[in-house]
Structure 1
Amino acid sequence: MLLVTAEEMREMDRKTIEEIGIPSSVLMENAGVQVARKIKERVNHQAKVLILSGHGNNGGDGFVVARHLGNAGYDVVTFVIGDLNKSSNETKIHYQALVNSQYPVYFYNQETKKDLFALMEQTDIIVDALLGTGAKGRPREPISEIIQYANQTKAIKVAIDMPSGVDSNTGEVVDQAFQADLTVTFALPKLGQFLYPGASYIGELAVVDISIPPVVSTSMGIKRYLLTKEVLKSKLPIRKANSHKGTYGHALLIGGSKDMPGAPTLATMAALRSGAGLTTVVIPKSIQAMVFNQVPEAICIGSEETRTGHLDFSFLDPLIASENKYTALGIGPGMGIWDQGLSGLRKIISSFSGPLVIDADGLNLLSQNPHLLLQRIGPTVITPHPGEMSRLIGKEIQYIEKNRPQVALEFATTYQVYLVLKGAHSIIATPDGELYLNPTGGPELAKGGSGDVLTGMLTGFLAQKIPVLHAVLLSVYLHGLAGNLASKPSNYSTLARDLVEKIGYAIGQMIESR
């Protein structure tokens, strides 16, 4: 499903009106009908509803909602905040239709302010039709004060298209934003609905059709997508009854150090759970027995190590030389940072031509010379969290978090890698400039070892020779879904090993949805 900006949505509206021939007043009617329908699905007609309408087109949508809820028997009151003389013709049309239908409409001023605030305390549902997708920056008064008061009430809060105060493009919130329980957005989801802090104001998101045909969006060349199970399920290969372990590839994982045996263990478990036919893990000899005891299904190779307990990469030459044996390689989990680490990583980057996943300390070593990525022959996937991304590009974490899509796209296209920028709603950027946002996962993933599980999943799926983009998207989506499943009964207590145990259930859900 495409993700759009406010500007792209405006262009889609324009094309629909001018090129398809659907009048703007009809689009507004359709929008309001859909919001009213979503409210009726959730609350019976005995509810008291307050519509907060601005003078823009979002307010016009609110007038339509009020009329249709009134027609359905709801007790609806509309408050207009703004000057209707500044409104579009279609907004005026729907305002007049509401008035002619004899449903109560009041205008906000200093005399009616007390009445509005009293009404907010008494109502069951507050509908935000104040600003919509085009607004940026701090909401002006009196809207800021009204939002603040509405948020403190016990009413169910519904936002039309976008909660007022949330930037549709960046998710930025300055001062105040409407804290929605439900956001009903039109035609396609908006980028800012999945970027924090704005994403935390959305509540449940419902994407509804208002009669904008798909040809409008597909003609615009948008390369930004929201991952959905409906699309990804077709990317997961069906396993044939007459297959064998060789059918599903051989994953090679390199990592671990004397003090960090857990990370390569988790990655190895995850690669196997993701379906790799064979998985080999190379770790220092000092932790070989520990890892093998946890993952007896894997081939565990104990490598010579340095005096500090890190891998001695000179002993990996035979493995790299036999690269045809391995269909994907993942490096980094628990590996640590040491003087010879970068030279060893350089050798793997330049020598291994299959799909390569670099994570954790592999990225920390790479940050010393990111240009090594340009030596790659085969496809490369990197999975930085914001701290690792900060080291890779030499900018503050705060900058990374404020500009996640731009940072991911710029690095991916410059260095021709698939980049998974981890975090709430992880971002995937591709070498050719596509951007994907992942909606699965939650705070249960904020735990040590979660990233190692993702590395293992990526290496495991890539080992099966699934197309690289499909393998990356499936891994990220299913990793988050496994987190959702593992978060019961509490996302406080979820461990990385719980994610591994839920990988099969996540894959099962996707298969069942076919």
Structure 2
Amino acid sequence: MPLINDHSLPEDLYSADAVGAIDRYVIDQQGVNGFDLMQAAAASAFRRLVRIWPDASSILVLCGAGNNGGDGYLVAANAKRHGIDVHCVAVAPVEKLKGDARKAWQKAEADGVEVQALGDGDQDLSKLPFDRVDLIVDAMLGTGATGAPREPFACIIDRCNQATTPVLAIDVPSGLDSTRGTVAGVAVRAEVTVTFIALKLGLFTGAGTECCGHLVFESLDTDEWASESGQRPVAKRVDWSSMASTLPRRPANAHKGRFGHVLVVAGERGFGGAGILAAEAAARSGAGLISLATRGEYVGAALARCPSIMAKAVIHGSELQPLIEAASVIVCGPGIGRGAWGQQMLQQVIASGKPRILDADALNLMAGRAARPSDDHVLTPHPGEAARMLGCEVSEVESDRLAAATRMQQRYGGVVLLKGAGTVIASEQALPVIVSGSNPGMATGGMGDVLSGLIGSLMGQCGDLQQAAMLGAALHLAAADVASETKGFMGLLPNDVIDSLPRVLARTESGAGISSGSSQAGV
């Protein structure tokens, strides 16, 4: 597949129901013919197909019973007219087709497309050319489908995922909940997804990042009607390309006192690297001054790794007070453990009332206490920590990441950053934010320590917790993507991400900007 650069994704994210309502508003209130809109969607999907796979000479189109299936039939008709060998399969009986979807099937047949019916209960898919075509087009289950796919859909989805042939998903990969980003059963893993009208939240978080692959958006000229429809977005989407311009610029007469003094409180015995990673990430992302309060045995290692860090051995919580007084923002939690040392450190940090980023064991310690909402902190849990703080199972957090982050923010206050593919940021002042994109190389210990240091550094520079969280998460992903270009995913380490920060920031400072390079920055 050729590299395509099209960073045209809008920022508003809607629920699947809201996108359906916008679609109906366009048809019912604006007088746009529904079949014309379906033809426009199919034509735009086919244009993308030809652009991305220009050498495709044969395709397999899998069509369901709803309007998503109608899109598929019209894509098949477009392909047939352009001389592509089309294998079109009616996964749902054509007798079930109604309205515009039925018109689409009729048009496909009129244009010479031979539609192969898949008989009820027929599980023998050996005759379908999953591995004998250049591309599979998934038009089986659209945004209206909920729950685990039934047969024969489930079996065909499995077969799509086993094939070596790339998949183009129409609007949403079949089986994916396009509001919550979850999969109940199985879902198509597409290489490219072309989605229409407005962006669905579930394409950008959780399993959506894996199922969608590269995401392409086609508004079908309905942009102006989304707000007129009365539907409101449930979240905003950001990435580094959209956030880089908000990074505070440095005047020629800048001095270190203008960019914050970050105190990192981290590193109980056995976890010394956590504090070093957080402190160095803060140093590499523009903090004016960085102090590290850690166990004495790690001071030498911290200075050897990054001599600009002011590292101090701390034994008792009382020794932390002078460091807290000097700091403008505090990062606490990476590797502090859950014993007496970590409890003392956290108690002093919270009592200070200073802006703080709380991560890792700071969150685990908070989970066992009564909730004390605060406007002065950013909490950065992974799903396991979020589950402990909410008193629920990890599966419940992952079943609705947006709702989990919102619940946690309501209970603990401040800003909550729920880590994972499609990071969710929730605050009281604004709509939730999704940092779009994912990088599988970041699934290793220490990446969260880097993120906490980044957010602390950016908080010291911009003075706003919400903006710092958004900037930090977007920069974190952008640096990981840059590091992956040479390190790959399996060999990626947290220090590789730190080492890539100057490269990302240098591009931004030069005015060139940089996108995250991830699958959902748009293709």
- The answer to whether TM tops 0.5 is yes
2:382 is the counterpart of 1:391: no
| Aligned equivalents of 2:134, 2:432: Cα separation in 1 | 39
- The aligned amino acid for 2:492 is T
| Aligned equivalents of 1:131, 1:244: Cα separation in 2 | 57
Aligned to 2:59: 49
| Aligned equivalents of 1:95, 1:408: Cα separation in 2 | 43
Aligned to 2:455: 458
Aligned to 2:317: 313
452 and 153 in structure 1: CA distance in 2 versus 1, 3 angstrom threshold: closer
- The aligned amino acid for 1:489 is K
- C-alpha contact (below 8 Å) 2:22/2:225 kept by paired residues: no
21 and 236 in structure 1: CA distance in 2 versus 1, 3 angstrom threshold: farther
260 and 25 in structure 1: CA distance in 2 versus 1, 3 angstrom threshold: same
- C-alpha contact (below 8 Å) 2:205/2:436 kept by paired residues: no
- C-alpha contact (below 8 Å) 2:263/2:323 kept by paired residues: no
371 and 346 in structure 1: CA distance in 2 versus 1, 3 angstrom threshold: farther
- The aligned amino acid for 2:156 is I
Aligned to 2:519: none
Aligned to 2:8: none
* Mean Cα deviation higher: 325-334 or 144-153: 144-153
Aligned to 1:366: 366
351 and 95 in structure 1: CA distance in 2 versus 1, 3 angstrom threshold: same
Aligned to 1:277: 288
* Mean Cα deviation higher: 44-53 or 29-38: 44-53
- The aligned amino acid for 2:357 is V
- C-alpha contact (below 8 Å) 1:412/1:431 kept by paired residues: yes
* Mean Cα deviation higher: 177-186 or 429-438: 429-438
367 and 114 in structure 1: CA distance in 2 versus 1, 3 angstrom threshold: closer
- Tell me which of the two structures has the higher relative contact order, counting C-alpha pairs closer than 8 angstroms and 6 or more residues apart: 2
| Aligned sequence identity (%) | 31
- The aligned amino acid for 2:112 is Q
- The aligned amino acid for 2:340 is D
Candidates 410, 434, 437, aligned match of 2:434: 437
Indicate the SS of the match to 2:492.
coil
Alpha-carbon deviations, 1:278-302, whole Å to 9, x = none?
Answer: 1122223443333223221122233
Alpha-carbon deviations, 1:375-423, whole Å to 9, x = none?
Answer: x4x5310111222223222222233233322111111123222111122
Aligned to 2:498: 500
- C-alpha contact (below 8 Å) 2:386/2:408 kept by paired residues: no
74 and 476 in structure 1: CA distance in 2 versus 1, 3 angstrom threshold: same
Aligned to 1:417: 414
- The aligned amino acid for 2:253 is N
| Aligned equivalents of 2:244, 2:305: Cα separation in 1 | 31
- C-alpha contact (below 8 Å) 1:282/1:302 kept by paired residues: yes
Indicate the SS of the match to 2:50.
helix
Candidates 302, 305, 329, aligned match of 1:291: 302
How far 1:441 sits from its partner (Å)?
A: 4.2
**Residues 18-417 of structure 1 mapped to structure 2, 5 A cutoff:** 18-44=28-54, 47-109=57-119, 117-217=127-227, 219-303=230-314, 305=315, 312-320=316-324, 322=325, 325-339=326-340, 341-342=342-343, 344-353=345-354, 355-372=355-372, 374=373, 376=374, 378-417=375-414
- C-alpha contact (below 8 Å) 2:138/2:168 kept by paired residues: yes
Indicate the SS of the match to 2:279.
helix
Alpha-carbon deviations, 1:83-141, whole Å to 9, x = none?
Answer: 44543422233223223323333433379987982444532222111111111122222
Aligned to 1:308: none
- The aligned amino acid for 1:92 is R
Indicate the SS of the match to 2:145.
coil
- The aligned amino acid for 1:164 is S
Matched residues, number = 500
* Mean Cα deviation higher: 5-14 or 253-262: 253-262
121 and 247 in structure 1: CA distance in 2 versus 1, 3 angstrom threshold: closer
| Aligned equivalents of 2:123, 2:419: Cα separation in 1 | 45
45 and 392 in structure 1: CA distance in 2 versus 1, 3 angstrom threshold: closer
- C-alpha contact (below 8 Å) 1:383/1:421 kept by paired residues: yes
- C-alpha contact (below 8 Å) 2:60/2:86 kept by paired residues: yes
Structure 2 residue ranges without an equivalent (≥5): 1-10, 515-523
| Aligned equivalents of 1:447, 1:408: Cα separation in 2 | 22
* Mean Cα deviation higher: 52-61 or 337-346: 337-346
Normalised TM-score (structure 1): 0.89
2:494 is the counterpart of 1:490: no
- C-alpha contact (below 8 Å) 1:6/1:169 kept by paired residues: yes
Aligned to 2:7: none
Aligned to 1:473: 470
- C-alpha contact (below 8 Å) 2:206/2:420 kept by paired residues: no
How far 1:233 sits from its partner (Å)?
A: 2.3
| Aligned equivalents of 1:458, 1:115: Cα separation in 2 | 51
| Aligned equivalents of 1:446, 1:115: Cα separation in 2 | 36
- The aligned amino acid for 1:38 is R
| Aligned equivalents of 2:126, 2:304: Cα separation in 1 | 67
| Aligned equivalents of 1:285, 1:116: Cα separation in 2 | 65
How far 1:161 sits from its partner (Å)?
A: 0.9
287 and 22 in structure 1: CA distance in 2 versus 1, 3 angstrom threshold: same
Indicate the SS of the match to 2:476.
helix
- The aligned amino acid for 1:171 is G
- The aligned amino acid for 1:468 is L
How far 1:509 sits from its partner (Å)?
A: 4.3
117 and 484 in structure 1: CA distance in 2 versus 1, 3 angstrom threshold: same
Alpha-carbon deviations, 1:247-298, whole Å to 9, x = none?
Answer: 2122222222343322111111111111111112222344333322322112
483 and 461 in structure 1: CA distance in 2 versus 1, 3 angstrom threshold: same
Normalised TM-score (structure 2): 0.88
- C-alpha contact (below 8 Å) 1:415/1:431 kept by paired residues: no
- C-alpha contact (below 8 Å) 1:36/1:69 kept by paired residues: yes
| Aligned equivalents of 1:340, 1:261: Cα separation in 2 | 13
83 and 251 in structure 1: CA distance in 2 versus 1, 3 angstrom threshold: same
Indicate the SS of the match to 1:117.
coil
- The aligned amino acid for 2:424 is I
| Aligned equivalents of 2:176, 2:96: Cα separation in 1 | 22
| Aligned equivalents of 1:103, 1:257: Cα separation in 2 | 67
Alpha-carbon deviations, 1:155-202, whole Å to 9, x = none?
Answer: 332111112122222333344332322211113332332344454232
Indicate the SS of the match to 2:416.
strand
- The aligned amino acid for 2:346 is L
| Aligned equivalents of 2:312, 2:49: Cα separation in 1 | 59
| Aligned equivalents of 1:359, 1:151: Cα separation in 2 | 37
Indicate the SS of the match to 1:20.
coil
- The aligned amino acid for 1:316 is L
46 and 300 in structure 1: CA distance in 2 versus 1, 3 angstrom threshold: closer
| Aligned equivalents of 1:115, 1:422: Cα separation in 2 | 39
Aligned to 1:446: 443
* Mean Cα deviation higher: 200-209 or 496-505: 200-209
